[in-house]
Each structure stands twice: as C-alpha cells, then as structure tokens.
C-alpha cells in the first residue's frame, strides 16, 4: 500500500474470498464490476500463486481503523 503522499499506481485489485481444496482453486473477487467474469468473481489455481513469474506482489489486511 502506498504511504500517505505516495503516488498510487495501478488501481486494480483482487481479493481471495474462498477456496476449494478438492479443485485446488481460490475463489477471487475482482475489483471490476459484476459484468466481468462470473458476476465479478473468478477462480484461480493454487499453482498460479506459486509461480513467481506470474504472481509476486501480495498484501494482507491486518488492521482496520475507524476513520470517523
């Protein structure tokens, strides 16, 4: 995540919302609208995330603070 004052690059994100160990796939929500993919979702093979040529920049949400 960019620090305050840093330039935002990209503007696209996905979020793993579930998984299927039998199929070895994650269920992923795309930041695009519901017209994309499977009503805004897609599945991704576990193996994709293990290939550093395809996937290498991951972030986790560890703390959410109330801004009000």
CATH of the domain at 32: 2.40.50
Residue 1 confidence (pLDDT): 63
Assigned domain for 65 exists:
no
- Please, which pLDDT band fits residue 46 given cuts at 50, 70 and 90? very high
Nearest-angstrom CA–CA distance, 63 and 33:
26
Instruction: State which residues form the domain around 25.
Output: 14-50
Total domains present in the chain: 1
Contacts of 16 (CB under 8 A, 6+ apart): 26, 27, 28, 44
Nearest-angstrom CA–CA distance, 10 and 14:
12
Q: What is the pTM for the complete model shown?
A: 0.67
Assigned domain for 31 exists:
yes
Assigned domain for 37 exists:
yes
């Amino acid at each position: 995540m960019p620090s305050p004052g840093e330039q935002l690059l990209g503007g696209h994100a996905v979020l793993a919302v579930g998984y299927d160990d039998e199929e070895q796939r994650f269920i992923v929500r795309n930041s695009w609208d519901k017209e994309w993919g499977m009503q805004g979702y897609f599945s991704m093979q576990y193996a994709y995330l293990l290939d550093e040529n395809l996937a290498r920049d991951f972030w986790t949400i560890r703390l959410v603070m109330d801004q009000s």
